[in-house]
Amino acid sequence: MKKAKDKFVVFFSFTAIILWSSCNGQVKEKEKTSDNNIQTQKIIGGGCEGCELMYEGMPKNISSVDTSAGWFEPGEKLLVTGIVLKPDGKTPAKDVIIYYWQTDNNGLYSPSPEMNKKAERHGHIRGWVKSDAQGRYEIYTIKPMPYPGRNIPAHIHISIKEPVLPNEYYTDELVFDDDKKLTTAERKKLPNRGGSGILRPVKMNEMLVAEHNFITGLNIPDYPSPKM
């Protein structure tokens, strides 16, 4: 009887150890999976209010050249052009979508009756370009006006979507070097995300031309490191 009891105790202890080890392994695997989920769920760039609206009304085929609705309205005509570069700051990056939105000649994000309803708060002067094989893009628009009664410099909002990344991210707003509201204090606020957003337009053929190169990943939080 004693031997049978001893065998039962040994069997129970052995079984308990196996179950404990198995459960402990499952917990660790779950924790590991959870950690992996946290990593994969990180938003590159930290996210931004309104950037997700770039997908509202986005055309299926996007050119490297876009002419905004503002081009045909009152305002100083403006061409913003340049190259989208890879993180090394030298290599052209193709197929990068640049979404822009801005105020009209009255400093308002004015919607139009025919525009996408969900994106109305971005106003009707908005659009997309996709960098070509040489990384180039061109945006024909008008120079935005500052918000009425406020000391914020006139600006163009920018959201970037790279083909290999899971989400979009914002870069420096495009502002103008000769804007009196672009004070020293305002300049210091610019985080240099994707390159300095300060434009220095030159008058050419009855319009302003400003060159701006985007450097993908520059000062973008949680941007993936290039593979070695």
- In this predicted model, what pLDDT tens digit does every residue of 71-125 receive, in sequence order? 999 999 999 999 999 999 999 999 999 999 999 999 999 999 999 999 999 999 9
Class of domain 51-215: mainly beta
What's the Cα-to-Cα distance from 77 to each of 37, 139, 141, 147, rounded to whole Å? 47, 11, 6, 19
Q: How far is Cα of residue 88 from the mean position of the Cα atoms in its chain?
A: 18
pLDDT of residue 226: 75
Mean pLDDT across the chain: 86
Q: Residue 32: in which H helix or E strand, if any? A: helix 2-40
Query: Which of these, 95, 118, 66, 76, lies nearest to 165 by C-alpha position?
Result: 95
pLDDT of residue 74: 97
pTM over 0.75: yes
CA dist 111 and 114 (Å) reads 9
**pLDDT-based confidence at 58, cuts 50/70/90?**
very high
Q: In terms of pLDDT, which residue wins out, 72 or 50?
A: 72
Query: For 178-216, how does the pLDDT look when each residue is reduced to its tens digit (9 = 90+)?
Result: 999 999 999 999 999 999 999 999 999 999 999 999 999
CA angle 66, 69, 70 (to 5 degrees): 105
pLDDT of residue 41: 66
**Ramachandran bin of 95, using left for φ above 0, alpha for ψ from -120 to 50, beta for the remaining angles:** left
pLDDT of residue 225: 87
CA dist 21 and 13 (Å) reads 12
Query: Which of these, 173, 160, 174, 175, lies nearest to 223 by C-alpha position?
Result: 160
Across 37-46, 51-60, 98-107, 148-157, least confident range: 37-46
Domain chopping of the chain, boundaries? 1-41, 51-215
**pLDDT-based confidence at 227, cuts 50/70/90?**
low
